A and B are shown apart, each in its own frame.
Chain A
């Protein structure tokens, strides 16, 4: 999809990108970096709008330096900032943008209707956009990036300014862009936690340098635990405690989760069970049946990427410690992660 080779961009005073070499495969890729890390500069170069000082980059196999127009025809771009004129309706705006991408008038109208429906805008699409909520505006911005059915979309901070619910919806939408629409996604964010749920692959840059590029699973794989929640029954008024005892008796490492799945400081009804191998699932299932409890849920719990960046001693994530060690930039992610938690993320069971 995207390949860069010792790509550098220097301005008179700053080096925005410093010999960046990454290879991005089809799928959903997160581009993480603090403000000023070079994310926007990279996007500009990838769209062929700003020449690199040195190095090469190609998008969809096309060279950014010479085939910018061809790239922009096949790539969608959703800017970080507001970009919608308030006095036109979403339909008119997106139709116009479709035509600007080269779609004939009829196709532009059809694709606009389709795309707006896919991003979840219905009757309101005929109203002037000035009256839209932030969430609706973000959807229109996403729609204009998708309307010409690109092979790749570049989304610059798509969750900016959204409330937790809106953010979850946007992330779900981004995921669908890949799974349902078959369009690869490069999404930038400064919130690591968001990317875990959305991305297959995460690229971290800082100060224009590549810090790490690996799949989301690599970030989170070392965590094997199960979140289990059960009901109470007449025979066992405290089902959770009974299950706790049963599982501990079966030789599994069990501990109560600090929080419930929805992030509320917990009911204490969720148990975390360390997974040893596949038989762990059977053990849990059998234990629940034996106790004749109702199983509310049993799901894999993954660590959030954010935890990778936390200090070694903090929290119960020993398995990810090697990743955290040697990460100079580890600390700077912590505030972002905390903010994410406050916003109602689900740090313990996702």
Chain B
């Protein structure tokens, strides 16, 4: 008898691998939450999805970075003393791009799960409702942070290459990062709440754009009227009513930014505290609303 036939079961296994039980690790709830987070974050840039869905987020990321690269190139070649745009101002200038990104990706993140009824599957796994909401929220905020912080990083690296003052630039960069972090949290919260209202993706996209642009349009119009009437106090308070002006107000008050409000009449420290409180209330409020939204969705 040839020696290999003595191991008949092994040969059999090669041809027909029967069902194998899994006896390895089961990493539980925290791991599942992290998995959902990374899947959602990758999904926000189209990774792990079809080629088509990578196009828009990647283009928008490019659009965010190109102006920064140009500014850096100009600053390096013309030997400027300072960057043409402050770190804290960059996101305000490109708010339309950020809004567009949020409008395209927030519905992608939550409406799809609602529309295709994948949510019940998640809740049949070890995670709880709070894990789902936290993972989606964190993923959206991280995706936005990536989108807004990457151009700042380009600016910072460029500024160092142009041999601008190191301490100055580092301080500005840090302030810029804090500002875009707050912006990411706020926008992620608002975008997800609006997107989670409807399982229809198109409605979600339109609704997010509407919330951002209408509120900004209304606030800046009224601010413009207030400026014409020389009511500078009103200008600084009005900024509370739209997401981007809220961020502008916070960074003007505490992150030594120059306000983009009409006439540059940003809030002072006293008003700034109200801005911060409203900002935090909006972020926690949107988390709470999302929790409520998913209360009825399980199974």
Contact = CB atoms under 8 A, between A and B. Distances in A.
B127 A82 contact: no
A72 B116 contact: no
Contact of B19 (A69, A86, A181): A181
Interface stretch (A10-18, A98-106, A201-209, A227-235): A98-106
**Residue among B25, B26, B48, B123 with the highest chain A CB neighbour number at 10 A:** B26
Contacts of A107: 22, 24-25
B31 interface: yes
Interface in B65-102: none
Interface stretch (B32-40, B151-159, B222-230, B257-265): B32-40
A50 B296 CA distance: 11
B49 interface: yes
Interface string A42-67: 01100101100000000000000000
B204 to A, nearest CB: 15
A103 B24 contact: yes
A144 to B, nearest CB: 7
Contact of A144 (B26, B53, B121, B299): B121
B26 A49 contact: no
A214 B113 CA distance: 39
A69 B29 contact: yes
Contacts of A128: 50
A94 to B, nearest CB: 11
Given A44-B299, A83-B117, A100 B21 contact: no
Nearest to A145: B124
Given A101-B126, A107-B22, A79 B299 contact: yes
A101 B299 contact: no
A152 B27 CA distance: 19
Interface string B118-156: 101111111110000000000000000000000000000
Contact of B22 (A70, A75, A103): A103
Contact of B117 (A79, A87, A144, A148): A79
Contacts of A96: 35, 39
A100 B127 contact: yes
Given A85-B112, A97-B121, A118-B19, A72 B126 contact: yes
Interface string A179-216: 01110000000000000000000000000000000000
A183 to B, nearest CB: 9
A111 interface: yes
Contacts of A180: 18-19
Contacts of B53: 87
B298 A99 contact: no
A88 interface: yes
B187 to A, nearest CB: 24
Given A47-B299, A87-B53, A100 B25 contact: no
B27 A103 contact: yes
B247 to A, nearest CB: 33
A40 B116 contact: no
A219 B48 CA distance: 50
20 contacts: A49-B124, A73-B26, A79-B121, A79-B299, A83-B116, A83-B118, A83-B121, A85-B113, A99-B35, A101-B126, A102-B25, A102-B28, A102-B31, A104-B24, A107-B22, A107-B25, A111-B22, A114-B17, A128-B50, A149-B22
Interface of A: 40, 43-44, 47, 49-50, 69-70, 72-73, 75-77, 79, 81-88, 92, 96-97, 99-104, 107, 111, 114, 118, 128, 144, 148-149, 180-182
